[in-house]
Each structure stands twice: as structure tokens, then as C-alpha cells.
Structure 1
Amino acid sequence: MRGYVLHGRGDASFGEIQVPPLGPYDALVRTTAVATCTTDVHMINAAPYPNAIGKPLGHEGVGVVEKVGDLVRDFTPGDRVILSAGGADWRIPQAQRGEAKYYPNNMPYFSEDPLQGGVFAEYVRALDADMSMAPIPDGVSDEQALMVPDMVATAFTGVERMQIEFGDIVAVLGVGPVGLMGVAGAALKGASRIIVIGSRPKTLDLARRYGATDVIDYKQGPVVDQVLALTGGVPVDSVLVASGGSASDQFTAAFRIVKPGGHIANVSLYYEDTVTLPMDALSYGGIEKFFTGVFVQTGREFYTRLLRLIEQNRLDPTGLITHRFDGWDELPEALDLMRSRNPDVIKPIVTV
């Protein structure tokens, strides 16, 4: 089969690769749509994981089941499904403690199996299909479902860690695709005021559509001053950090604007060696402010709940999609868009 393979740092291209064999609990899925991500660009630029070399890239995909193992119970050929972005290992004792996602042993980038590749391929092997895949309801389009396994799932995992209560005031630092879904999630959780910090007119406008009540352009002045001016000096109840600047700047701003006892959830990956936080933002270590790094929740049960929101018209994530391509040959162009820093790019997708 054909796949877009990582060969080394700065080197990825299409090539012919082996179709992976199926175990009794696995499914072979024919890919029908994929999305490109800044993580894909980082993987190509840095090739940080040795186990990813020689495998197809990509972690956001949907498809149609082609074949299932003998012990797969709930899926049959022809089913439309979401593929897992997180690669959780459901076959370890820690899974029974709700900790499967902390062991992404099945993610292609970490798996030692040379045939366990990403979704930028004609076929993808879904390990432990009954646990890792989710069926796409008839009323949900491939485009809507494609945003679920990473963009929606990552943002909503972060929103859950914010501990939002009805009527809360929250802030979202950074409004890329995950930040935008964070806005939508905070609105669904009952936040009364959602303050969004960004700079791109396109994303700020979209943030309003998803429920933002106030938007702040960080280029117009210090973020902390602008937020507290809006609230009359009252700290916000919780903060979602969704990129938008350096880790030191974002974390410092979050700690300064959140209330004592408030929650900060970080859904961004930062590749800085160190982060500096001024201790006065933490009352010199004598105040309770809760900070959580967020790793995307994964698995069939979580994906199914997110798909229900779309099915019932409570959420439509397709507002994130700014560029659409047709066919595998267009994938490199979709990746180039993620490199371009074009302010009009939010999420490119490729339909196969």
C-alpha cells in the first residue's frame, strides 16, 4: 500500500509499504479522510522518536472498516469509524485504573512494531479495535468526525480539567484549532463569560461563533492588564492554555489572572528547555493554584460521547476547516500550509 513515510529528520515522502497483518482483536481500516497538524510538521522537522522512522506519519483520521480480526465483536466491514489519535494501551493492568492513555504504547511514534504506522496511509491497523475505534453515526459527516480524535478530544479533556461550574468566568490563552474547541467546550460546560486571547482576526471571529464573550488582542497590550480590566480586577475562575506564545509568558499570565483555588489546564506542547515563573504570581509558594498538563483522552467511550454532541447539533467542529484537498497527492501541500504560518490557516484536511 501507499503511505507518507518519515525517513529521517527533514525527510518524508510517499512510498510503498507493507499492509500490516491483523491480530484477533484488530481491524484494518481504509482511510477516507485525514487532517494535518503542527505535530506532523514537528515530527518531520525534528524526527524526535526513533520508533517513528520508516513509518507513515499522521494521527488524525477516519475511515471505513475493511477487515476485522476473529475476536472483534462490535465492528464489521463497511462501518465508518474514527481512528484513535492517542494510541492508548488497553491491555495493561493500569487501564483498569483509568490510566490507559498514560501508556500510549500503540501510538506509531512509540510502538516498537515496525508495521504499526500512522494514518497517512491507504490502510491503517487499529489495535484493539473494540476499545480504540468509535463508530461514526449516520448523521455525522466524515469532516465533523475527523475533528474529534485530536482537536475536540484534546480541548474537551483540557476543559474537563478546568473544573468549570455554572456561571464561571474563564480565559483561553491561544485560539488555534484546539483553543477554539476549548471555547466551545467551556460554553457547553456552563461558563458565563469566556475571554479569549489571540491576534488573528479569523480565529477571533470564529471564537465568537463558538461562544467567546470577549476577545483580546495580545498585541494591543499586556494580557494580564487587559483581562483584569475586563473583569474589574476580579481574577478568572480557570484558564485554558492553548499556545499563543512562549511557555514562560503563557504560564505566567495564567497564574496571574486565575483566582486562588483556580485551575489552569495546559493543552499545548512546548519544546523549550526551561520555563521561568515569577514567584509573586504564586504568592511565593503560599497559595493554591492548580496547574495540570493535559494529554488527550482517547478511546471508544470518550469519542462516542463527543460524537453525540455533534449528532445532536450541540457542536459543529467543521468551522475549524479552512482548506480542503482531494486525494493523497495533495497531502504535501496540506502539510506545507501548516508550516506556512499563514494567518488564514486553521485546519487543512485531505479527503481520499
Structure 2
Amino acid sequence: MKALVFNGPRDVRYERFPDPELATDNSVIVKVERCSICGSDLHMYHGDNVGVANYSEGVEPFCVGHEFAGEVVEVGKSVHRHKVGQKVLASGGAPCGRCEHCLSGHTALCKHWTAFGLSTRLNGGQAEFVNVPMADLTLQPIPEGVSDEQSILLTDAMCTAYFGLTRTAMEPGDAVAVVGLGPIGLIGVELAYVLGASKVYAIDPVANRRAHAANLGAVALAPSQALPTIMEATKGAGVPRVFEASGAKSAVELAIKIAGRGSTASFIGLPQPDVQLPMLKVLYKDITIRAGVASVIDQWPHLIPLLQHGRLKAEGLFSHHMSLAQGTEAYRIFDAKEDDVVKIMMTL
């Protein structure tokens, strides 16, 4: 098959790769129809550390990508929910199905949860075909009324946005700040209004992303404007609910500065080692800190009805449409933030 293969930092190539086989009886093979690049893929692309993995050197080539949807073409004998010909979308990763958390129904806490497209342990879906383990949990039949673009967002970005936003413990009438307006942050802005926010401050250095947030009704601010504007508007109180969706050092620091006393701040951006919380400010402002990686599977029951009833649209996020064969250039554009890129859809 053809796939996008990681060969080292900033070296993702469209090339031949061995076809996947059913790895376990609970696996299926999916023929990928569309996929996308996630901001977290850039950490691998840059050769950074992701968890215990170091992508700077000596990595065996693997297929990249954890956001994909397509058609089931082969089914393991222990799979019960899926059949050949079914259109499906995938969770960004798979639980092991064996640890005590999986066996007790708490797959979000799986000790061995593995993301697609970070190593040969679980090759990714920016490829013509992909093996999907624990398919009865990891795959979701594409629901009626969900568009192609929404189906890709349900593989990670939309679920991470819902996870991160709801962990601020926001209630109807609350003011919310969203720091970082990539796709996850922009979906977070829309979701905040869906869930009853009275006002949303949307903060990002990129003008076109601020414009998108403003079209959703948010008060869109450049980082340099955020602190004085919010403190003036709140008479120095700050914001009670803060959703940080970047992971950048400056974004994390700003999130704590604009958070009010007794507030809750939720962090989902993947930080690098130099990112630290200013703990004295956290302590003196009595800020509740929430951080984690979303269990995509657990967010689907909340999000799919919102999409089907038109409450949530998540439109206009795919600024670029390219073929998988153009994947090397897609990564370059996405990394360089060229041409007002927000998110790239690749089709096969």
C-alpha cells in the first residue's frame, strides 16, 4: 500500500509500506477514505519527545496519523459490532482491553492506551489501509446526519474540545476564556456557547483564527490584549473558567494570569519539558487545575446528538483539501502555518 511514513524529523514521505494484517481476533482492517493532520502530530514531526518516545533519531519508520475514517474491509472473528462494507470513524487511539481499568469499563484510564501513528506498535491511518484493534470500542459507525468533515473531527479534535471544556466545570451563565484557537480551541468556543456560556474570550496570535472565533460570537483577542481587556471587563476579577488548548509556554502562563480566584483551568495542549505552571499564582488564586488526554470514545454519546440536531456545526475548520499523495507538502504547510491554514483534510 501507499502511506505517509515517518522517516525522521520533518521527513514524512508518501511511499510504499507493508499492507496491514489483522493483528488480533478483535481487530478490523479499514480502507481509509479521508484523514487529517492533528497539531499533536507536529511534536513527532519536529523530532520532539512525546511521553517516553524521542523522535529525534533512531526511530523505525512507521505510518503516521490518528484522525481517519473509511470502510471496513476485513473483520476479526471476535468483532461483533462491525461488518465488511460499514462506514466507520476511529478513535485517535485504542485501549488494551486487558488491564483492570479496561476490564472494569473505565477504558479512559487504560494503562496501555496507545495512539495511532506514533510508532510501529500501532501504525497510523494516513495510509490506504490500517489495522484497528479493539474494534468494537475503537470504531464508531458514522452516524446519520454527520458530515464527512464532522466525522474526522469526531476522531479527536471535537472530542478533545468537549473533554477540555467540560472539565472547567462550566455552568450556564459562566464566562469562559479559550486560549489557543487551533481547531480544538475553535470548537471549544462554539461548544462553550452551546453549553450556555454568557461570554467567551477567544485568544490567539493568529488573526484569521481570531476572526473565526469572532464570527462565532466570541470576544476575540490577541495575547497582548487579553489580560488588560479581561481585567477591565471583569473589574479585576478574572475569568472563572479557562480552557487552554495550545500547550505553548506563553499560552499556559496567560491562562493562569487571566484565571480568577477560585476558578478552574483545564489544560489539554501537549506541552514540552520547558512548560511549567506558575505554582505560586495557582496557590494564591486557589485555581483548580485539570489536565488530561481525552478518551474519544467517551465523548461520542455527548457530541453525536448535538451534531445530528444541528446544535453544533464545527464548520469552516478545514481550510485546505489535499490528496494523501500530497501529504509531504500538507505537513510542511501545516507546520509553517502558511496560507492561513487551520486544518487539512487529505483524501484517498
Same fold flag (TM > 0.5):
yes
1:83-112, CA deviations, whole angstroms, 9 ceiling, x for partnerless residues? 12133333321122625355354324566x
Matched letter for residue 313 of structure 2: D
Whole-Å separation in 2 of the counterparts to 1:278 and 1:350: 41
Change over 3 Å in CA distance of 1:160–1:89 after alignment to 2: farther
Q: Mean alpha-carbon deviation: is it higher for 139-148 or for 3-12? A: 3-12
Paired residues in the alignment total 340
Q: Give the Cα separation in 1 of the matches to 2:151 and 2:275.
A: 36
Q: 1:110 to 1:339 in 2, by over 3 A?
A: closer
How far off its partner does 1:259 sit?
2.6
Whether 2:70 is the aligned partner of 1:67: answer no
> Do the aligned residues in 1 keep the contact of 2:174 with 2:199 (CA within 8 Å)?
yes
The whole-number CA distance in structure 2 between the counterparts of 1:237 and 1:274 is 23
Label 1:41 to 1:55 Cα distance change in 2 as closer, same or farther (>3 A).
Answer: same
2:172 aligns with 166
Counterpart of 2:230, as a letter, is V
Q: 1:259 is matched by which residue type in structure 2?
A: G
Alpha-carbon spacing, 1:298–1:89, altered in 2? closer, same or farther (3 Å): farther
In structure 1, what is the Cα distance between the partners aligned to 2:231 and 2:274?
30
The question of 1:206 aligning with 2:216 is answered no
Shift of 1:31: 0.3
1:30 — aligned with what? Answer: 31
Task: Give the TM-score, by structure 2 length.
Answer: 0.89
Q: CA deviation at 1:278?
A: 6.7
Is it true that 1:345 corresponds to 2:346 in the alignment? no
Corresponding residue number in structure 1 for 2:316: 319
Counterpart CA distance in 2 for 1:276 and 1:26 is: 40
Cα distance in 1, alignment partners of residues 347 and 44 from structure 2:
22
User: Counterpart of 1:35 in structure 2: which amino acid?
Assistant: S
SS in 2 for 1:149: coil
**8 Å contact from structure 2 (residues 171, 196) kept in 1:** yes
Shift of 1:315: 1.4
1:240 matched to 2:243: yes
Query: SS of 1:331's equivalent?
Result: helix
Q: Distance in 1 between matches of 2:121 and 2:20?
A: 6
- Residue 182 of structure 1, CA deviation: 1.0
| Paired residue type of 1:341 | K
Q: Distance in 2 between the 1:262 and 1:109 partners?
A: 36
Are 2:147 and 1:147 aligned?
A: no
SS at match of 1:37: coil
How far, CA to CA, are the matches of 1:4 and 1:165 in structure 2? 42
User: What is the CA–CA distance in structure 1 between the aligned matches of 2:11 and 2:48, rounded to whole Å?
Assistant: 9
Residue type matched to 1:242 in 2? Answer: A
1:28-107 equivalent positions in 2, closer than 5 A: 28-46=29-47, 48=49, 49=53, 53-95=60-102, 96=104, 98-107=106-115
Q: 1:104 to 1:333 in 2, by over 3 A?
A: farther
Aligned residue for 1:339, secondary structure, equals: helix
- Residue 16 of structure 2 is matched in structure 1 by 16
Distance in 1 separating the partners of 2:97 and 2:315: 30
Q: Which moved more, 1:266-275 or 1:78-87?
A: 266-275
Q: 5+ unaligned residues in a row in structure 2: which ranges?
A: none
The answer (yes or no) to whether the contact 1:64–1:78 under 8 Å persists in 2 is yes
| Structure 1: segments with no counterpart, 5+ residues | none
Match of 2:272 in 1: 271
Deviation at 1:350, TM superposition (A): 0.8
Q: Say if 1:10 and 1:47, in contact at 8 Å, map to a contact too.
A: no
| Residues 91 and 319 of structure 1: CA distance in aligned 2, closer, same or farther (over 3 Å) | farther
- Partners in 1 of 2:118 and 2:10 — Cα distance? 19
The one-character-per-residue Cα deviations of 1:231-270 (angstroms, maximum 9, x if unpaired) are 23232111011228x42x4333322322332110012112
SS in structure 1 at match of 2:15: strand
Calculate the aligned-residue CA RMSD, in Å.
Answer: 2.3
Q: Which residue of the partner structure matches residue 229 of structure 2?
A: 226
Query: 1:65 and 1:110 mapped to 2: Cα distance?
Result: 22
**3-state secondary structure, aligned to 2:96:** coil
Partner of 1:290: 288
